[in-house]
Amino acid sequence: MPEARGKIRVTCTVNGKAMKFSAFPMERLLDVLREQIGLTGTKEGCGEGECGACSVLLDSKLVNSCLVPAAQVEGAEIRTIEGLATGEQLHAVQECFITHGGAQCGICTPGMILAAVNLLERNPQPAEADIREALAGNLCRCTGYTKIFESVVRACEARSGKS
């Protein structure tokens, strides 16, 4: 059995809260979030950076948390699905995913919503082609994507004040 090395201590913020944790340096951010910090909203779908179910925002950038080692999270600002709603008030994207069928089984949903939110933060009025491209790294097996696009389009309308 290979020799075991020690853990490191990491400081970062998660959903606006300062966090300190210790982890193996190559421990996946996904596992740190789920096991140590107790935020299980971020999901594992493939462990190879293909499905996007583990997407989080790391310093405002969408990343696959299954591919980020703990050592590289030092000083970072992380946002997970749990940090999206403001208290009881859902983000427009969350609300539209409920009402327009963007969420079915829900397992891809946290990552998909964060990818959509990240898109809207960069491009508030995306064309459908932009939505498709921005979400191409998030796989969904249930919806066939049509209602995910619909949900994002409706969320844009809601945010821009149209009805």
Partner 1 sequence: MRSFLPAYALETPRDLAATLDRLAGEPGEWQPFAGGTDLMVLLEAGKLTHRRFLNIWGLRELLGIREDSDFVTLGALTTYTDILRWPKMQHEFPLLCRAARETGGIATQNRGTLGGNIANASPAADSPPALLAYDAELELVSARGPRWVPYRNFHSGYKKMDLRPDELIARIRLPRRAQGGKQYYRKVGTRKAQAISKVCFAGTAHIEHKRIVDIRIALASVAAFPFRAAKTEAVLRGCDLGEESIHAAQQELAREIAPIDDMRSSARYRLRIAQNLLEDFLTDCSAAH
Partner 2 sequence: MPTPVIGTSVRRKEGREKVTGKARYVDDLKFPGMLHGVTVRSSAPRGTIRSIRFAEGIPWQEFTVVTAADIPGKNCVALIVDDQPCLAAGVVNHPEEPVVLLAHADAYLLEEARRAVSIEVEPLPAIFSIEDSLARKQIIWGSDNTFQSIVVEKGDLESAWRKADRIIEGEYFTGSQEQLYIEPQGMVATADRRKGITIWGSLQCPYYIHKSLTALFDLPPEKIRIIQMETGGGFGGKEEYPSMIACHAALLAWKSGKPVKIIYDRAEDMAATTKRHPARIRHRTGVSRDGKLLAMDIEFVLDGGAYETLSPVVLSRGTIHAAGPYECPNVRIRSRAVATNAPPHGAFRGFGAPQSVFALERHFDRVAEELDLTPEEFRRRNFIREGQTLAVDQVVREPVDMTRLMERAFEMSDYHAKRERFTRENRGRNAKKGIGFAAFLHGAGFTGSGEDYLASIVAVEATEEGRVRVLAASVEMGQGTNTIFAQIAADALGIEYDSIEIAQPDTANVPNSGPTVASRTCMVVGKLVESAAVGLKQTLIGSGLLSERYTAAEFAAACRRYIAQRGPLKSTSQYAPPPELHWDAKNYRGDAYGAYAWAVYVAEVSVDLRTFEIAVDDFTAVQEVGKVIHPVLAAGQIEGGVAQGIGLALYENVVWREGRMVNNQMTNYIMPTSMDIPRIRVHFEEIPYPFGPAGAKGIGELPIDGAAPAVINAVAQATGANLPRIPVTPEVLMEALEAMRA
Q: Give contact residues for partner 1 (rule: CB under 8 A).
A: 1-5, 24-28, 31, 47-50, 52, 55, 58, 61-64, 66-69, 71-72, 74, 115, 118, 133-134, 136-139
Nearer to partner 1, 25 or 98 (CB): 25
**8 phi/psi in degrees, rounded to 5:** -115, 160
Cα distances (Å, whole numbers) of residue 76 to 16, 20, 31, 68, 88: 11, 11, 16, 12, 26
Q: How far is the CB of 48 from partner 2 (least distance, A)?
A: 6
Structure tokens at 40: 């299980």
> Is the sign of the CA dihedral 81, 87, 91, 94 positive or negative?
positive
Give the pairing of strands 8-14 and 77-79. Answer: parallel
Position 159 contacts partner 2 (CB under 8 A): no
Task: Name the binder of 67 from partner 1, partner 2, none, CB < 5-8 A by kind.
Answer: partner 1
Cα distances (Å, whole numbers) of residue 136 to 14, 48, 52, 115: 25, 15, 9, 10
Position 140 contacts partner 2 (CB under 8 A): yes
Position 135 contacts partner 2 (CB under 8 A): yes
For 57-83, give the DSSP string. EETTEEEEGGG-BGGGGTT-EEE-GGG
- Residue choice 64, 97, 120, 156 for contact with partner 2 (CB under 8 A): 97
What is the total count of residues that contact partner 2 (CB under 8 A)? 56
Position 118 contacts partner 2 (CB under 8 A): no
- Residue choice 12, 32, 39, 120 for contact with partner 2 (CB under 8 A): 39
Q: How far is the CB of 135 from partner 1 (least distance, A)?
A: 8
* SS3 category, 45: coil
Binding site for partner 2 (CB under 8 A): 1-2, 34, 39-48, 50-51, 53, 80-82, 84-85, 90, 94-95, 97-101, 103-110, 113, 131-133, 135-149
